[in-house]
A and B are shown apart, each in its own frame.
Chain A
Amino acid sequence: MKFKLTKKQKKMLYRIIAGILLLIAAEVVTHIFSLPTLANIVIFLLPFGVAGYDVVRKAFLGVGNKQLFDENFLMTVATIGAMAVGEYSEGAAVMLFYQVGELFQSIATSRSRKSVAALMDIRPDSAVVIRDGERLEVHPEEVEVGELIEVTAGEKLPLDGIVESGETTLNTAALTGESLPREVTGGDEVLSGCVNLTGTITVRTTKPFGESTVSKILELVENASSKKARAENFITKFARYYTPVVVIAAVLVAVLPPLFTDISFKTQITRALNFLVVSCPCALVISVPMSFFGGIGGASRQGVLIKGGNYMETLSKVGTVIFDKTGTLTKGEFGVTELITNGCTSEELLFAAGSAELASNHPIARSLVKAAQDKGIALKRPEKCTDHSGRGISCVIDGEQMLVGSAALMKENGIKYREIQNSGTAVHVAKNGVYMGVMIVSDMLKPESAEAVSQLKALGIKTVILTGDTKSAGEAAAAALGIDEVHTELMPQDKVALAEKLISEGDGSTAFVGDGINDAPVLSRADVGIAMGAMGADAAIEAADIVLMDDKPTGIVTAVKISRKTLRIVYENIVFAIGIKVIVLITSALGFTNMWAAVFADVGVAVIAILNAMRALSKPRKKKA
């Protein structure tokens, strides 16, 4: 990847090169000629000054502002101190090396900042609005609700709305992480942030820019940094005490041993100067928030919005995932899953049931109508309809007496029907008192549900279903998916009670996944509440800690994997950075390491930690099964 240096970074690079050349020259000159001490000092002050004048300047300003634990001040004391004890070339070289490290650190930081910014670059800059037949290019904020906008191929949708005319294919990857393009045409709802791939469409806006999907997502991700993980809070506290403690230790190292032993002050001061070099907790202070920032940014790219580092931390330790069934593991819409005829064709059966239910709004009735229409069967309006509350309907179609409904309805009318043992709802049909057959209507499982459950299991996570649905339906779904535990026929308050029981009993933390519509109490009660397919459902976005933008339960697996990876990186950096610093401090105190090692422990460790933190941005690798 090519990376352009900023002006400041370029200037620093030239100064470093000049400093190195001057240092080499100084070494050569002092080796060939034997010069007086004063000349030596001046010769080595040249590279020192070229490389480090800004550090020294900031150090003086810092002293003026009573910032005695300032990085620049401590570095200046360390290097000038080295020169004062006669290590001229070391003093200059350490300042140079320190600046090299700072430059690397600056490059790595701005690079990772850019990658995160690029990830979130879904904000549209302009919108083409049609006013009085004219096309005007305006800022999306200036478009009002109900106005028409035009979106040509290759552009981002600036606002949420409904397609008025035209048809096209949309890439929703920026919102959902799903690369499968979506076809839209007149009347379809479209969300801002999608990219228009093929045709030109006009869209009637339904939301102002500030409330449109893309603005909400960006706001959510940007605000995520304020909800800090425990690891982050630890670092903040650590940073507050680290520098003062190390500086005090440096003073003790310099002063105490010469007072009580015959080690000279000069030796001990040299050792103590190392302490000052490693006194900045920079590696941690940069890399830990950066890891969370990267993890949250990377997750949003895959359609998973995580509202804060704290939720990432909790999710990484998740031991139990509780699912709501309807709308979460299932599609939440009924479909005819089985059809058994008795002396007629399946078309005749679908025609009879579909026509009889044509006027009804019940979800099961709608699914029968849809099933018939999907097969291209023309339905007829029924006459003389009678609704047998909750059991079915009787009516006349083409002069023939139809009876469509439950087993109880068949029994009442003395019709011999086929007994069905199934998890779905059985809809029986009879014409003129003769049994035609039965259709099973049930809520269909999402195709990704089984994979999500098996992958969660592979990660060692227990899965539970809590549902208000019937025992047979709930248990059938659990069996089909391989869910560990299932509780059915629950009222909302039962769900909360059971969730609480699972939270207190389970290992690790507990996540609840729902479609967010009627699960708000459990969503907020669980350690981590995950709302699914919630784009547009404001209440769910509010209540949940993590939002999966598409309808796929596999998003939970992605979220868990990203969280675990991010947390692993964070702990690696904490252990690595603190570990190296402590080792260098101990060995410096004993006189085994020189100032070079100390500079490495300061800036070198910071650069490595930053590079490690950047891994949080990338997709977690898929493990081979």
Chain B
Amino acid sequence: MAIVKKSFEMEELDCANCARKMQEAVAKLEGVQNVEISFMAQKMKLEYDDSDEKKLFKEIQKCIKKVEPDCSVCF
């Protein structure tokens, strides 16, 4: 287990307010140290605990779909 910092592209992120809501939701997930979703850059910067990466990525994707059904992260 280690804390990793990575940046991911986001697809179909269409509204700035949604980006803000997603950021708030993802920040609450367990294993996420820090997250920043930039609407301008269409990117998500993530600092996370990589002990169960797959599960975390799934949860993040779910959070994002909840706010904007068409949006997704390119993990």
In the bound complex, how far is the Cα of B38 from the Cα of A289, in angstroms? 9
Contact B66 A65 (CB under 8 A): yes
Please tell me if B15 contacts chain A, counting CB pairs below 8 Å: yes
Residues of B in contact, count (CB < 8 Å):
21
Contact A226 B45 (CB under 8 A): yes
Contact A285 B16 (CB under 8 A): yes
Residue in contact with B40 in the complex, picked from A61, A281, A290, CB distance below 8 Å: A290
Asked, given contacts A61-B69, A67-B66, A226-B45, whether A282 binds B17 with beta carbons under 8 Å apart, the answer is yes
Question: Which residue from chain B places its CB closest to the CB of A235 in the assembled complex?
Answer: B20
Question: Which residue from chain B places its CB closest to the CB of A225 in the assembled complex?
Answer: B38
**In the assembled complex, which residues on chain A have CB atoms less than 8 Å from the CB atom of B21?**
67
Please tell me if A83 contacts chain B, counting CB pairs below 8 Å: no
In the bound complex, how far is the Cα of B17 from the Cα of A286, in angstroms? 8
Contact B39 A289 (CB under 8 A): yes
Please tell me if A547 contacts chain B, counting CB pairs below 8 Å: no
What 1/0 mask marks residues of chain B from 38 to 52 whose CB sits below 8 Å from any chain A CB?
A: 111110010000000
The minimal Cβ–Cβ distance linking A495 to chain B, given in whole angstroms, is: 35
In the bound complex, how far is the Cα of B16 from the Cα of A226, in angstroms? 16
Contact B17 A289 (CB under 8 A): no
Contact A286 B45 (CB under 8 A): no
Contact B38 A286 (CB under 8 A): no
Contact B69 A286 (CB under 8 A): no
**In the assembled complex, which residues on chain B have CB atoms less than 8 Å from the CB atom of A109?**
39
Residue in contact with B36 in the complex, picked from A226, A280, A285, CB distance below 8 Å: A226
Contact residues, B8-37 vs A (CB, 8 A)? 14-18, 20-21, 24, 36
Asked, given contacts A285-B16, A285-B17, whether A225 binds B69 with beta carbons under 8 Å apart, the answer is no
Question: Which residue from chain B places its CB closest to the CB of A61 in the assembled complex?
Answer: B69
Contact residues, A47-86 vs B (CB, 8 A)? 58, 61-62, 65, 67, 70-71
**In the assembled complex, which residues on chain A have CB atoms less than 8 Å from the CB atom of B70?**
58
**In the assembled complex, which residues on chain B have CB atoms less than 8 Å from the CB atom of A65?**
65-67
Contact A71 B17 (CB under 8 A): yes
Contact A225 B41 (CB under 8 A): yes
Which secondary structure characterizes the binding site on chain B?
A: mixed
In the bound complex, how far is the Cα of B16 from the Cα of A461, in angstroms? 37
In the bound complex, how far is the Cα of B38 from the Cα of A239, in angstroms? 16
Asked, given contacts A65-B66, A67-B67, A226-B45, whether A293 binds B17 with beta carbons under 8 Å apart, the answer is no
**In the assembled complex, which residues on chain A have CB atoms less than 8 Å from the CB atom of B18?**
71
In the bound complex, how far is the Cα of B10 from the Cα of A93, in angstroms? 32
User: Which of B15, B16, B39, B40 is packed against the most chain A CB atoms within 10 Å?
Assistant: B16
Contact A282 B40 (CB under 8 A): no
**In the assembled complex, which residues on chain B have CB atoms less than 8 Å from the CB atom of A116?**
40
**In the assembled complex, which residues on chain B have CB atoms less than 8 Å from the CB atom of A225?**
36, 38, 40-41
**In the assembled complex, which residues on chain B have CB atoms less than 8 Å from the CB atom of A236?**
20
**In the assembled complex, which residues on chain B have CB atoms less than 8 Å from the CB atom of A67?**
21, 66-67
Contact B17 A113 (CB under 8 A): no
Please tell me if A222 contacts chain B, counting CB pairs below 8 Å: yes
Contact A289 B40 (CB under 8 A): yes
The minimal Cβ–Cβ distance linking A6 to chain B, given in whole angstroms, is: 11
**In the assembled complex, which residues on chain A have CB atoms less than 8 Å from the CB atom of B42?**
113
Contact B14 A113 (CB under 8 A): no
Contact A280 B17 (CB under 8 A): yes
Please tell me if A524 contacts chain B, counting CB pairs below 8 Å: no
Question: Which residue from chain B places its CB closest to the CB of A222 in the assembled complex?
Answer: B41
What 1/0 mask marks residues of chain A from 217 to 246 whose CB sits below 8 Å from any chain B CB?
A: 000001001100000000010011000000
In the bound complex, how far is the Cα of B23 from the Cα of A226, in angstroms? 13
Please tell me if A106 contacts chain B, counting CB pairs below 8 Å: yes
Contact residues, A265-284 vs B (CB, 8 A)? 280-282
In the bound complex, how far is the Cα of B65 from the Cα of A289, in angstroms? 23
What 1/0 mask marks residues of chain B from 61 to 72 whose CB sits below 8 Å from any chain A CB?
A: 000011111100
In the bound complex, how far is the Cα of B11 from the Cα of A517, in angstroms? 43
In the bound complex, how far is the Cα of B16 from the Cα of A160, in angstroms? 38
Contact B15 A282 (CB under 8 A): yes
Q: Which residues of B contact A (CB under 8 A)?
A: 14-18, 20-21, 24, 36, 38-42, 45, 65-70
Known pairs A225-B36, A285-B17 / 4 extra A-B pairs, C-beta < 8 Å: A113-B40, A281-B17, A285-B20, A289-B40
Q: Which residues of A contact B (CB under 8 A)?
A: 58, 61-62, 65, 67, 70-71, 106, 109, 113, 116, 222, 225-226, 236, 239-240, 280-282, 285-286, 289-290, 293
24 A–B contact pairs at CB < 8 A? Answer: A58-B70, A61-B69, A62-B69, A65-B66, A67-B66, A70-B67, A71-B17, A113-B41, A113-B42, A116-B40, A225-B38, A225-B40, A225-B41, A226-B45, A239-B20, A240-B24, A280-B17, A282-B15, A282-B17, A285-B17, A285-B20, A289-B16, A289-B40, A293-B40
8 tightest A-B CB contacts, nearest first: A286-B16, A65-B66, A285-B16, A61-B69, A285-B17, A293-B40, A282-B17, A226-B36
